[in-house]
Amino acid sequence: MRYRELGRTGLTVSEIGYGAWGLGQGAWVGADDDSGVRALHRAVDLGVTFIDTARAYDRSERVVGRALKALPGGGDGIHVATKVGPKVPVSLSPSGLDPMAAFPGSHLRESLETSLRELGRDHVDLLQLHTWEDEWTGRGDWLETVDALKQEGKIRFFGISVKDHQPENVLAVLRTGVLDAVQVIYNIFEQAPADALLPACEEHGVGVIGRVALDEGALTGAIRTGVTFPEGDWRNWYFRDDRPAQVEKRVAAILADLGTGIEELPSLALRFALAGQAVSTVIVGMRSLANVERNAAIADAPPLTGHELSLLAGHRWAKNFYG
């Protein structure tokens, strides 16, 4: 495993991080606590030192906490990030864009206290807002609460998880200097963060956590025409209608362009995300031991060449399957 600095924080994190959404057993069908703990332990064995979870991920924080408790020293040396979601859906806030409705300071504190109980820890390394509107910059009391939580030792650093496919909707607050990290969708298809956000993060010393590097499975080669998922699994919605066929066509073009086989696709995808400017870690959902081992093995793969990155840049795809 290779390691990088998380912006100006001084934290050193593994290039491959653990995305723990799938451990929650809500949107992703097929997980259970025991298998989740085993997967997390294997990831740590292979050098993973960064885990990202959230209050909204059903049982995820609890599973992460159980796994860490079973490690020597209670998981000392493992950096944990979690997120606080808005108190009310942003679309339902009274003015449409009201930070005091979405993220009042009291809500941040209450959500964090719940997260700490679930995780079995006295602090988290990184607390993130689970959505953001740049019009909130300079408004509300959330920042005073963040500063207080830092002083109390309950959080070390603070960041924002950017809204899906809206990488520029954080630039104003980023330039104020209050962010330590930004989490954003960045992959072979979704390259928009490279336009403005990633350069701004590098300029201001803000760490970048890349998410959805495998595009919920689209960049693993597993999504083909006719693919199905267990009943209740959210991917039946994400890959609905003709979307698997669209993905299959796009993946075939990538492989043809680079002259490689489908078995190399996950490696290409993760190495592409890690090549992004200012990217510190790429968090990947890994519920099975096989996927943990496959993704951790990227540490042994050489970085993509300039030529390969140039070819992959041509596969940018402006789509939003979350919509």
Q: What is the pLDDT of residue 197?
A: 98
Cα 37 to Cα 254: distance, rounded to the nearest angstrom = 35
Cα 302 to Cα 319: distance, rounded to the nearest angstrom = 29
Question: Do residues 277 and 321 make contact, with C-beta atoms less than 8 angstroms apart?
Answer: no
Cα 323 to Cα 303: distance, rounded to the nearest angstrom = 33
Cα 223 to Cα 67: distance, rounded to the nearest angstrom = 30
- pLDDT tens over the chain, length 323 residues: 999 999 999 999 999 999 999 999 888 888 799 999 999 999 999 999 999 999 999 999 999 999 999 999 999 999 999 999 999 877 655 556 678 888 999 999 999 999 999 999 999 999 999 999 999 999 989 999 999 999 999 999 999 999 999 999 999 999 999 999 999 999 999 999 999 999 999 999 999 999 999 999 999 999 999 999 999 999 999 999 999 999 999 999 999 999 999 999 999 999 999 999 999 999 999 999 999 999 999 878 999 999 999 999 999 999 999 87
> For 3-313, CATH number?
3.20.20.100
Helix (H, G, I), strand (E, B) or coil at 147: helix
Torsion angle of C-alpha atoms 92, 94, 97, 100, degrees rounded to 10:
-110
Task: Phi first, then psi: give them for residue 209, nearest 5 degrees.
Answer: -105, 110
pLDDT in tens, 10-31: 999 999 999 999 999 888 888 7
Q: What is the pLDDT of residue 96?
A: 63
Residue 317 CB burial class (10 angstroms; 0-12, 13-18, ≥19) = middle
Q: What is the pLDDT of residue 97?
A: 67
Question: Do residues 102 and 87 make contact, with C-beta atoms less than 8 angstroms apart?
Answer: yes
pLDDT in tens, 130-163: 999 999 999 989 999 999 999 999 999 999 999 9
Q: How many CB atoms lie within 10 A of CB 256?
A: 9
Q: Where are the domains of the chain?
A: 3-313
Count Cα neighbours of 19 within 13 Å in the Cβ-side half-sphere: 25
Cα 15 to Cα 122: distance, rounded to the nearest angstrom = 25
Rg (the chain; Cα; Å) = 19
Q: What is the pLDDT of residue 41?
A: 97
Query: Which segments of the chain does DSSP mark as H helices, in order?
Result: 33-45, 60-69, 99-102, 105-119, 142-151, 171-174, 197-204, 235-238, 243-258, 265-274, 289-296, 306-313
Q: How many CB atoms lie within 10 A of CB 2?
A: 12
CA distances from 89 to 185, 205, 237, 263 (A): 21, 31, 20, 40
Query: Which segments of 138-263 does DSSP mark as H helices, in order?
Result: 142-151, 171-174, 197-204, 235-238, 243-258
Q: How far is CA 270 from the centre of its chain?
A: 13
Question: Do residues 188 and 269 make contact, with C-beta atoms less than 8 angstroms apart?
Answer: yes
Q: What is the pLDDT of residue 79?
A: 98
Question: What is the dihedral sign for C-alpha 8, 11, 15, 21?
Answer: negative
Question: Do residues 21 and 60 make contact, with C-beta atoms less than 8 angstroms apart?
Answer: yes
Cα 81 to Cα 279: distance, rounded to the nearest angstrom = 16
